[in-house]
Amino acid sequence: MKKKIKIRPISIILSALFLSIFGGVWYGWWFSDVQVEAHRYTPEDYANNSPLWYLGGILISLFISWGLGLMVRLQGLSGFKGGIKASIKAAIGFGIPLVSYPYVFSPLHDFTLYMVGLFQIVIAWIIAGAIIGSMAIDESTPHES
């Protein structure tokens, strides 16, 4: 019988916070040069960027975290390892194909940028899933009071 798993809302919020910070560090610090070169961005492009786009990024992170939580719950997984297992399945089934679209359809076909995005998705989603899974509650077994 599959476990009945309850996902704590705080785990979704913490996971989204992690995704937002990790993405900012990944693309804004560690691999900013790859992105700037691939897209031919200028410092003016970044200076003119509206802060509302960052709010959009946070909303996307919340949505991804909700989806990872749903994967954990529907698969009846809990704990650190369960969260990792569910998030690997999500990355393979959804993350990798979605990050592949820009590589396939971009006229530049920048393989370096593709690999940066691919690894960011896999690493970030696995850690986010571990956060959610480690905080998930297994309601299928009786708890002692």
Give the range of the structural domain holding residue 73, as residue numbers without chain letter.
5-138
- Name residue 137's beta-bridge partners: 6
Q: How far is Cα 110 from Cα 104, in angstroms, rounded to an integer?
A: 9
Whether residue 144 is contained in a domain is answered as: no
Report yes or no: 90 and 64 within 8 Å, Cβ to Cβ: no
Whether residue 73 is contained in a domain is answered as: yes
pTM of the model: 0.86
Host H or E run for residue 125: helix 111-135
- Name residue 5's beta-bridge partners: 138
For the chain, how many structural domains are there in total?
1
End-to-end CA distance of the chain: 24
| Alpha carbon 72 to its chain's center | 14
Nearest partner of 15 among 55, 63, 47, judged by Cα: 63
Residue type, 132: I
- DSSP E strands, 1-145: 5-6, 137-138
Q: What is the pLDDT of residues 83-128, one digit of tens each?
A: 999 999 999 999 999 999 888 887 777 888 889 999 999 999 999 9
Q: What is the pLDDT of residues 49-66, one digit of tens each?
A: 788 888 999 999 999 999
Q: What is the pLDDT of residues 8-50, one digit of tens each?
A: 999 999 999 999 999 989 988 888 788 777 777 776 776 777 8
